[in-house]
Amino acid sequence: MKGLIVVSGLVLSSAVLLVAQSGKDFQTDFKVDRKNLGVKGSNPYFNLTPGYRLEYKHGKETEVVTVLSETKMIDGVETRVVEDRESEKGGLAEATRDYYAIDSATNDVYYFGEDVDVYKNGKVVNHEGSWMSGVKGAKFGLMMPTQPRVGQKFYQEQAPGVGMDRAEIKSVTETRVTPAGTFMKTVRVVESSAIEHGKEEKWYASGVGPVKDAEMDLVKYGVK
């Protein structure tokens, strides 16, 4: 089975094994076969089915994430376009087009970049945070392994001076209660950055995706 390794009767993706071997450091290199990267595959914690939609809310802040039918070639790889719209007090604050690819051999999801529009008073004021793998030294990172395990540490973004987000998986057994339902055995991920201060936590449920993103709670999900 190409790209997979069997350890003590368990099938692990190559990305998982490399993380386990990386010690305390966050993984930066991902030994994937680019021929396997594209839009075909299925990751239980990161649904990239066109039409899939997640809605979040915290106070007067809302966020809507929609998997589009569009694809975009980035760094020689066909990626799936995911639209993320964040609003505050009824007004659009940020609109992002994120680009993801799946390894069809392992179902690990990789992050290839984003186009960001930051709004103020209804107008775009900047594109801070935008980056693309293969441009200005940037390269893709691992967004979510198909078999997340406690202790995995990896970079999600690798765009020097722009975005250097990284993730550490802290638990795979927690229960989260949200307006959208109660989710068992969620994956708790602590995200930080190599160029910014602070940390945030996210919880992912199998078959759903992120059910809580920092203070934002999932309120609705499904195919639109």
pLDDT single digits (tens) 138-160: 999 999 999 999 999 999 999 99
Q: pTM value?
A: 0.88
Q: What is the pLDDT, as a whole number, of residue 24?
A: 56
Please name the residues in contact with 41: beta carbons below 8 A apart, sequence gap of 6 or more.
48, 102, 103, 104, 107
Q: What is the pLDDT, as a whole number, of residue 90?
A: 87
Distance CA 18, CA 22 (A): 6
pLDDT at 7 over 60: no
In which element (H, E) is residue 30 found? none
Q: What is the pLDDT, as a whole number, of residue 17?
A: 43
Q: What is the pLDDT of residues 153-186, one digit of tens each?
A: 999 999 999 999 999 999 999 999 999 999 999 9
The one-letter amino acid code at 149 reads R
Work out the average pLDDT over 79-83. Answer: 98
Distance CA 60, CA 66 (A): 20
Q: What is the pLDDT, as a whole number, of residue 98?
A: 98
Distance CA 179, CA 185 (A): 17
- Concatenating the DSSP letter of every residue in 181-204 gives EEEEEEEEEEEEESSS---EEEEE
Torsion angle (degrees, nearest 10) of CA 168, 158, 27, 212? 20
Q: What is the pLDDT of residues 105-141, one digit of tens each?
A: 999 999 999 999 999 999 999 999 999 999 999 999 9
Question: Cα Rg for the chain, rounded, in angstroms?
Answer: 17
